[in-house]
Amino acid sequence: MSKLNIGIILGSTRQGRLSPQVGEWVKSVADKRDDANYEIVDIADYKLPLLGEEDATVQATAWNTKLASLDGFVFIVQEYNHSISGALKNALDYARDAWNNKAAGIVSYGSVGGARAAEHLRGILGELSVADVRVHPALSLFTDFENGSVFKPADLHLTNVNGMLDQVLAWSGALKTLRS
């Protein structure tokens, strides 16, 4: 059986965002495992306008094509006002079938580890028929980011990232049989 394709989705498009640092760290941990193909998927690259405000056929097609090529996801989620970013919600809404019957893990960060954003995302993923996994690395802006801007995760997070990836791969493999 060929390796699963897992997208590490950066959940923000904001200038000065920290999600690229967190995403690269997750990818570096994942790549050491050699058990799947991992890639960073940056929603900023797709330049999705607000859903319904203008014709976005080209952007939406590219976005859906990328999602369809993936077997599972790891969302890098930052907490904005106790929820996910508007850009991530918009990107989630631009696809439907491409999300269905896939698995996802969540790595969140914020003042309380991004826990509230992760919980909101779980509800949205359920509606999109995405099975979110239980293990959830939650990173603190106070202890895992130097001066609130340079990502320096505590070593204890490695156990949770690897546990989350184990679950994402198990569920992604199982759900792939539904899509075949």
CB atoms within 10 A of CB 90: 16
Classified as helix, coil or strand, 2 is coil
Q: Which residues of 137-146 are buried (b: 16+ CB within 10 A; e: fewer)?
A: bbbbbeebbe
Give the CATH number, domain containing residue 170.
3.40.50.360
Indicate the pairing of strand 102-110 with strand 145-146: unpaired
* Domain containing residue 100: 4-178
pLDDT confidence of residue 159: 97
pLDDT tens per residue, range 113-135: 999 999 999 999 999 999 999 99
pLDDT tens per residue, range 25-38: 999 999 999 999 99
Q: How many domains does the chain have?
A: 1
Q: What is the mean pLDDT of residues 58-67?
A: 98
Contacts for 119 with CB less than 8 Å, ≥ 6 apart: none
pLDDT tens per residue, range 41-54: 999 999 999 999 99
CA atoms within 13 A on the CB side of 54: 7
pLDDT tens per residue, range 137-146: 999 999 999 9
pLDDT confidence of residue 180: 81
Residues pairing with 151 in the sheet:
145
Measured in whole angstroms, how far is the alpha carbon of residue 24 from the centre of its chain?
12
Using N-to-C axis directions, what is the helix angle for 115-127 and 86-93, rounded to 10°? 10
